[in-house]
Chain A
Amino acid sequence: MKAKTVDKVATSIIVVLALFIVVLLLGLLGFILVRGIGQINWHFLTSAPQLLKGGGGIGPQLFNSIFLLVLTLIITIPLGWGGGIYMAEYAKPGRITSFIRLVVEVLSSFPSIVIGLFGLLLIVNTFGLGFSLLSGAMALAIFNLPLMVRTTEQAFRAVPKEQKEAGLALGLSKWKIITSILLPVALPSLITGTILASGRIFGEAAALMFTAGMSSPPLDFTDWNPTSPRSPINPLRPAETLAVHIWKVNSEGIGPDSKEIAAGASAVLVLLVLAFNLSARWIGRVVYRRMTASK
């Protein structure tokens, strides 16, 4: 009888605490959206921030975040997918492979601020790229690569063995098998993994403060010459992203409406990350249907 009471008490404690987490999440999301969504309008999303007066927007920051994400993916996709393919298809179990695994594990556990500092030292100062979108993209690539390698390896390992054996039976080379048989099958999970990683890149700030910089020059959205300093697509200009902007407004915002701007920008950031997560699932499913015969 006593054991049963204990069981009941323990069960209800577990249930209560588990539901507490759900309530916590709903509370957090609700808070961010309720506080922030009223701020979001076309003007807020497109206009430049105001330093001292109220009424500024987050236009350049939003653009910088998206552009930085594109640059980072251009760097990480070939390197990350390549590394993952090596781990899944070429690496033989042994000392070297377990060493590479350790390297990936260590790289993914480095705090993002350490990666930002490394970027400051090597990319910004030694390579002389300065505070720029390109430096930021490189730092984010370091931040993102280990995750990418891991998801790619898992995606390739999940491909049924028969597919590879069929390719070998046809006398194809290993690289041909990888690119024309395994890659299409692994592509849905590769894309899902890449989009989920993008969500993380999008919200990252600590690694960017010292690489992409904490300011944005006034942008001229009619100037598409990539070498001009006011051009939005110039990869060598400093760029403050949305996440860095939220941090800056919160910790040193002096404008009269800095709280509201932080709330609005947080809501935009969270909505975009949610959109990434949902679209990752959706696109993964669509690509899977296209690549395979299943309906």
Chain B
Amino acid sequence: MNNKLKPRRPLREKHYWEEWTGRIYTSICVVFLIVVMFSIVYFVASKGLSTFFQDGVSLREFISGKTWNPTGEPAAYGALPFITGSFITTLLAALIASPLSLCAALFMTEIVPGKGKKILQPAIELLSGIPSVVYGFIGLSVIVPLLRSMFGGAGVGIAAGCLVLSVMILPTVTSIMADALSALPKGLRESSYALGATRWQTIYRVIIPTVLPALLTGIVLGMARAFGEALAVQMVIGNAPHVPTSLLESASTLTSVITLSMGNTTMGSVHNNALWSMALVLLVMTFVFVILVRLLERRNRV
């Protein structure tokens, strides 16, 4: 009798321990993620802000100054050329990629659902798997010579940068748009067809307005990727520190100037801190993109 009851106690203790190891172990993993995110924000912000608080560069000069001459006398830390470069390439890339992505997504879900998905899905996945340096290499050996022979000049510049970026964000935008379109209830399409609408009328008047927030989410996420992309852009944009006046002119983005200069400056110098301020701008833009996506998702739910 006694022998039969005995094993219960150790078993319960074992349960207890197992329960807690699991809970503690997985919680530590999650806490680690939170700590990492906050320390990234803290370290980048403390470095980036010291340009303004320690080195006395005014925020106005940094954001709206047109001359970037950190080694000159007097040194100038105007980051406007890089900020405009980043925004122009990102917007143009989104402008090129969005209609293409929308067509691809419509092709997969509305026009030839079965077959289209079979052809395009693997193509999109492969495109997203190609590393960014390879895109840069292709840009450098195809797009730049092509632009040079078509329009003259050096070939490197904003146009080359945004063409490379638009191909890079194509898979991101397309897959999000396709997911949104295929999640649409079937009844919506069928009732539109039952009213005698053509396929284009259904797409244009019913489907697109319904999933518009989700389509915009895809575009915003694509822009977030384009804004943060560093190496592919750096290889084709030419890296001249001027506010660009034409698409074929050589320019710089925030990421390209950080990539090129960070290794050549000493930690703690004003030049170095100004580069960290640019990283801070990238960080702030990341938050802006995340907030935009959240707002769009909220609209999507209603």
A residues within 8 Å of B by Cβ?
3-4, 6-7, 10-11, 13-15, 17-18, 20-22, 24-25, 28-29, 31-32, 35, 78-80, 82-83, 85-87, 89-90, 100, 102-107, 109-115, 117-118, 120-122, 125, 142, 145-146, 149, 173-176, 178-179, 199-200, 202-206, 209-210, 214, 243-244, 246-247, 250-251, 259, 262-263, 266, 269-270, 273-274, 276-277
Contacts and interface: CB of A to CB of B under 8 A. Distances in A.
A105 B34 CA distance: 11
A18 B290 contact: no
A32 B142 CA distance: 11
B47 interface: yes
A101 B255 CA distance: 27
B22 A113 contact: no
Contacts of A10: 200, 203-204
A90 B26 contact: yes
Nearest to A214: B263
Interface string B31-48: 011101101100110010
Given A28-B130, A106-B286, A269-B131, A174 B258 contact: no
Contact of B107 (A18, A29, A178): A18
B156 to A, nearest CB: 11
B126 interface: yes
22 contacts: A7-B198, A7-B200, A18-B116, A83-B33, A86-B29, A111-B230, A173-B19, A173-B22, A175-B21, A175-B22, A202-B131, A203-B129, A243-B131, A243-B133, A246-B137, A247-B133, A263-B141, A269-B133, A269-B134, A273-B129, A274-B126, A276-B129
B159 to A, nearest CB: 17
Contacts, number: 248
B228 A110 contact: yes
B138 A15 contact: no
Contact of B228 (A100, A114, A262): A114
A127 to B, nearest CB: 12
B99 interface: yes
Contacts of B116: 18
Nearest to B112: A15
Given A24-B167, A209-B259, A121 B130 contact: no
Contact of A117 (B14, B44, B126, B227): B44
Interface stretch (B60-68, B71-79, B211-219, B276-284): B276-284
Interface string B276-302: 100100110011011001000000000
Given A121-B43, A262-B137, A206 B33 contact: no
B125 interface: yes
Nearest to B286: A109
A106 B287 contact: yes
Contact of A113 (B30, B127, B136, B228): B228
Contacts of B25: 82
Given A114-B40, A277-B126, A176 B18 contact: yes
**B interface, by DSSP: helix, strand, loop or mixed?**
helix
A86 B119 contact: no
Interface string B95-128: 0000110011011100100001001100111110
Of A104, A118, A125, most B-chain CB atoms within 10 Å: A118
B149 interface: no
Given A117-B276, A205-B133, A247-B136, A13 B103 contact: yes
B258 A117 contact: yes
Given A14-B111, A28-B138, A82 B43 contact: no
Contacts of B148: none
A85 B26 contact: yes
A19 to B, nearest CB: 8
Nearest to B116: A18
Contact of B30 (A7, A78, A86, A106): A86
A21 B129 contact: no
A11 B282 CA distance: 39
Contact of B18 (A149, A175, A259): A175
A35 to B, nearest CB: 8
A107 B35 CA distance: 11
Given A176-B18, A250-B137, A100 B33 contact: yes
B130 A6 contact: no
A114 B44 contact: yes
Contacts of A246: 133-134, 136-137
Of B103, B119, B134, B228, most A-chain CB atoms within 10 Å: B134
Contacts of B132: 203, 205-206
B107 A111 contact: no
A88 to B, nearest CB: 10
Given A22-B120, A107-B40, A173-B15, 17 more contacts: A10-B204, A14-B111, A15-B107, A17-B107, A18-B111, A21-B127, A22-B119, A90-B23, A113-B279, A122-B39, A149-B33, A202-B131, A205-B132, A209-B259, A247-B231, A247-B235, A277-B126
